């Protein structure tokens, strides 16, 4: 790693670690999530996308990983992320539309901007419920044991609810 990359890595890892610290204020956590998920947001003279580019990682994969970690730690937000949210990764949007039509796309957008949204807030009707079940079965969306939803792209669990032998990161390797 180059010295500049080390500085950027430390900045990025510090922000992400703070997101999961108990002692970090909700205001600071909201600020970090806005920096990660909102287009053009700058923190300490750097955007999230620029940090990822400097480290040669794809921002959309990092954002999915944030959702995965929020799910693992069972973190629910009290409201959607502020700002102009970056688009859902196109790859997932196409898959969700193919699986569950416009309802699937709508649900995916909603969970993307509101990690840890409750099922009651998420589903408007039975059609949404059916679409949500399809997205859950495919692993694009995953629920905590208390039915709070996250966009992880590929579930780290198999159909039996056990951890997969394949790592989550391997799903996103560049071809």
pTM of the model: 0.88
* Dihedral sign (CA 134, 36, 80, 78): positive
Q: Distance from first CA to last CA of the chain, Å, rounded?
A: 23
Give tens-digit pLDDT for 101-152: 999 999 999 999 999 999 999 999 999 999 999 999 999 999 988 899 999 9
Give tens-digit pLDDT for 48-91: 999 999 999 899 999 999 999 999 888 888 889 998 999 999 99
Q: Which domains does the chain have, with CATH numbers?
A: 3-59 (no CATH), 90-172 (1.10.10)
pLDDT at 95 over 90: yes
Distance (Å, whole) CA 32 – CA 134: 31
- For residues 157 and 165, the answer to whether their CB atoms sit within 8 Å is no
What is the number of alpha carbons within 13 Å of residue 33 lying toward its C-beta? 28
């Amino acid at each position: 790693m180059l010295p500049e990359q080390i500085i950027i890595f430390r900045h990025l890892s510090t922000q992400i670690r703070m997101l999961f610290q108990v002692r970090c204020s909700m205001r600071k956590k909201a600020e970090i999530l806005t920096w990660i998920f909102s287009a053009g947001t700058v923190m300490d003279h750097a955007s999230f996308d620029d940090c990822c580019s400097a480290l040669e990682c794809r921002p959309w994969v990092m954002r999915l990983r944030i959702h995965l970690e929020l799910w693992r730690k069972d973190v629910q937000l009290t409201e959607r992320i502020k700002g102009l949210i970056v688009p859902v990764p196109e790859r997932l949007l196409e898959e969700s539309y193919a699986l569950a039509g416009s309802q699937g796309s709508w649900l995916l957008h909603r969970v993307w901007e509101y990690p840890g949204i409750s099922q009651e807030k998420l589903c408007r009707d039975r059609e949404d419920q059916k679409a949500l079940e399809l997205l859950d079965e495919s692993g694009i969306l995953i629920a905590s044991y208390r039915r709070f939803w996250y966009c992880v792209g590929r579930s780290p669990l198999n159909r039996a609810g056990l951890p997969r032998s394949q790592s989550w990161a391997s799903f996103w390797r560049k071809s």
